[in-house]
Amino acid sequence: MKLKELESHLSHVENFSNAKEYLEQYMTTPHLAARMIYTAQTQYDDIENHLLIDLGIGTGMLSIASCLLNADHIFGFDCDIDALNLCQSNIKEFELESNIDLIQADLRRIRLPVDLHRIIADTVIMNPPFGTKPFSSSTENQDELCLTGIDMHFLQYARQLARHSIYSLHKTSTRDHIYKKAKDWNMNMDVLAVLQFDIPKLEKKRSNRKTSTASNAPLKSIEVDFIRFEIKDNTDD
Amino acid sequence: MLTSNILKGVTRGFPLKIKADKMEHISVDYNRDFIARIIPRIEYDALRAAVNDLGLNESLPEAMSETLQQDDEFLKTMHKVLLEYEVEEGELICPETGRKFPISKGIPNMLLQETEVS
C-alpha cells in the first residue's frame, strides 16, 4: 500500500468528541500516523507479520495504520474507558476486531515484571502524553494529571515489552535526557524526524479544567522528535 | 481470547483465572501462517487453563511439541480458541489475592485502586 493510500484510509478514523485535557488526549493525525508506520515498515520491516503493542492507544490511529500495513496482531492499552469505547468503534469501522485487543490499564500504576520471558511484542508503537508541570496547589488531585516525565514512564514500559524496537514521540527539548536513558536501558536511539506539533495547551489553575475540551483549549506549538529505539541485548536472537 | 492470554503472561508470575458471564462465538477467516507464527509466542499452559476455566468444548493436547505446531488439525483448533471465542462480559481473577478484574464489552479493566498500589 502506498503512503498516500494509507493516509487516505486513516482519514476515516474518528476523533475524540470530548478529549480530556488532563489526560492530554488528542488524535494523532492521519498525516503523522501514516508516515510513522510507513517508515517503520518500509525502512525497518517492523510492522508486517509482527506482534505489536500500542501504549496509550487513544483513537486507535497508530494501530489501525499498522493493521493496514499487515501487522499480525496488536494489544492496545489506555486508561480512559471513553477513549477505549471510541477506539472500539473505530476498530469496528475498519473491521479489525480480530486484529486488535484492548486493555484498560493505567501505566502510572501497573507494575510490569522485568522478566525477559514475558516480553511478548516485537514492536511497541506510541504517541505518549508529554506531561505538564505538577500543580503547586495541593488541593488538585495529582493522580489525574499527566505529570512531567510521564513519557519516560511510557518509554520504560515500552522497553520491558518490546523484543526489537520502539517507535515513539518525545519533545525535542528532552532529547539529551532521553539519549542518556536509552543508553542506560541498553537501546540504540535514532531520531527519524523532527516535527512541529500543535497540542492543546494544558493550563494551570483553570476552574473549568475538567469540562474544557481540547477543541476550545489554546494550542501550543512544540518541537517533537519521532524516535526509533532498538533493543540491543537480545543475545538469543 | 488472545488478550486474556497475554495478560496471563504479563502480570506477575501467576496466570490469572478467567470466568465468563457472556461469551461470543465469532467467525474469523483462518490464516494458517498467522497461527503458525503466533503459537510459539503463546503461554500454552495458561491457554489450556483458560479453555478449561471457560468450559470450552475444545480439546488441547497437554504439551505443544514441534511436530504439533505443524499439524493442521492442531492449528485449526488453536485458531478457534485464540480468535473465535470472545469473553464479552466476565472476570479475570488473581489466584493469589482473589482480586477480580472485570471484563466488559471484551475489554479487561486492570485499573488498580489507590490502596492497591504498593
Task: State which amino acid sits at residue B46.
Answer: A
Strand B85-93 with B100-104, pairing:
antiparallel
CA-to-CA dists, residue A176 to A131, B26, B74, B115, angstroms: 17, 49, 50, 36
The residue among A50, A57, A182 whose CA lies nearest residue A127 is A57
- Can you give the pLDDT at residue B2? 67
Higher pLDDT, A127 or A137: A127
Whether residue B32 lies within 8 A of chain A, CB to CB, comes out as no
Tally: H helices and E strands in chain B: 4, 4
* Residue in B10, B26, B111 closest to A79 by CB: B111
**pLDDT range class, residue A139, cuts 50, 70, 90:** very low
DSSP run (H or E) holding A85: helix A81-93
C-alpha–C-alpha distance, residues A186 and A211, integer Å: 42
Helix B2-10 / helix B44-53 crossing angle, nearest 10 deg: 120
Whether residue B7 lies within 8 A of chain A, CB to CB, comes out as yes
Whether residue A112 lies within 8 A of chain B, CB to CB, comes out as yes
- Establish if A139 belongs to a structural domain: yes
C-alpha–C-alpha distance, residues A152 and A147, integer Å: 11
Write out the three cell numbers for A17: 468528541
The nearest alpha carbon in chain B to A122 belongs to B41
| CB proximity under 8 Å: A 63-92 to B | 72-73, 75, 79, 81, 84-85, 88
Whether residue B46 lies within 8 A of chain A, CB to CB, comes out as no
* Residue in B9, B37, B109 closest to A72 by CB: B37
**pLDDT range class, residue B42, cuts 50, 70, 90:** confident
Cα of A211 to nearest chain B Cα, Å? 23
- Can you give the pLDDT at residue A113? 42
Asked if A202 and A25 count as a contact pair (C-beta separation under 8 A), the reply is no
C-alpha–C-alpha distance, residues A205 and A193, integer Å: 34
Asked if A181 and A1 count as a contact pair (C-beta separation under 8 A), the reply is no
Mean pLDDT of A173-180: 96
- Can you give the pLDDT at residue A149? 84
C-alpha–C-alpha distance, residues A168 and A229, integer Å: 8
Strand A100-104 with A73-78, pairing:
parallel
**Percentage above 70 pLDDT, chain B:** 84
Residue A102's DSSP bridge partners are A76
Whether residue B117 lies within 8 A of chain A, CB to CB, comes out as yes
Q: Mean of the per-residue pLDDT values for chain B?
A: 85
Provide the CATH number for the domain around residue A65: 3.40.50.150
CA–CA–CA angle A53, A54, A59 (5° rounding): 145
- Establish if A93 belongs to a structural domain: yes
pLDDT, tens digit, for every residue of A47-103? 999 999 999 999 999 999 999 999 999 999 999 999 999 999 999 999 999 999 999
pLDDT, tens digit, for every residue of A178-205? 999 999 999 999 999 999 887 766 544 4
- Can you give the pLDDT at residue A38? 97
C-alpha–C-alpha distance, residues A4 and B1, integer Å: 34
pLDDT, tens digit, for every residue of A11-27? 999 999 999 888 889 89
* Residue in B6, B13, B109 closest to A75 by CB: B6
C-alpha–C-alpha distance, residues A104 and A184, integer Å: 29
Of the listed ranges A15-24, A34-43, A210-219, B35-44, the one predicted with least confidence: A210-219
The residues, any chain, with a CB within 8 Å of residue A150's CB and separated by 6 or more, are A108, A128, A129, A130, A131
Write out the three cell numbers for B87: 469473553
Mean pLDDT of A208-217: 51
C-alpha–C-alpha distance, residues A194 and B67, integer Å: 48
**pLDDT range class, residue B88, cuts 50, 70, 90:** very high
**pLDDT range class, residue A167, cuts 50, 70, 90:** very high
Domain count within chain A: 1
Complex-level ipTM: 0.90
Write out the three cell numbers for A31: 498525516
Chain B residues inside the 8 Å CB shell of A141: none
Cα of A79 to nearest chain B Cα, Å? 7
Under 8 Å CB pairs connecting chains A and B tally to: 66
- Establish if A87 belongs to a structural domain: yes
Chain A residues inside the 8 Å CB shell of B118: 111
CA-to-CA dists, residue B73 to A28, A74, A182, B36, angstroms: 42, 25, 44, 12
- Establish if A237 belongs to a structural domain: no
Higher pLDDT, A7 or B8: A7
- Establish if A192 belongs to a structural domain: yes
Contact A88 B111 (CB under 8 A): no
C-alpha–C-alpha distance, residues A124 and A51, integer Å: 9
- Establish if A236 belongs to a structural domain: no
pLDDT, tens digit, for every residue of A28-44? 999 999 999 999 999 99
* Residue in B12, B83, B118 closest to A98 by CB: B83
- Establish if A151 belongs to a structural domain: yes
- Residue B83, φ and ψ in degrees, nearest 5: -120, -25
Confidence check: pLDDT of B106 > 90: yes
Chain B residues inside the 8 Å CB shell of A81: 107, 109
Chain B residues inside the 8 Å CB shell of A79: 111
Whether residue A102 lies within 8 A of chain B, CB to CB, comes out as yes
The residues, any chain, with a CB within 8 Å of residue A170's CB and separated by 6 or more, are A128, A130, A151, A155, A178, A224, A225, A227
- Which structural domain, as residue segments, surrounds residue A56? 3-231
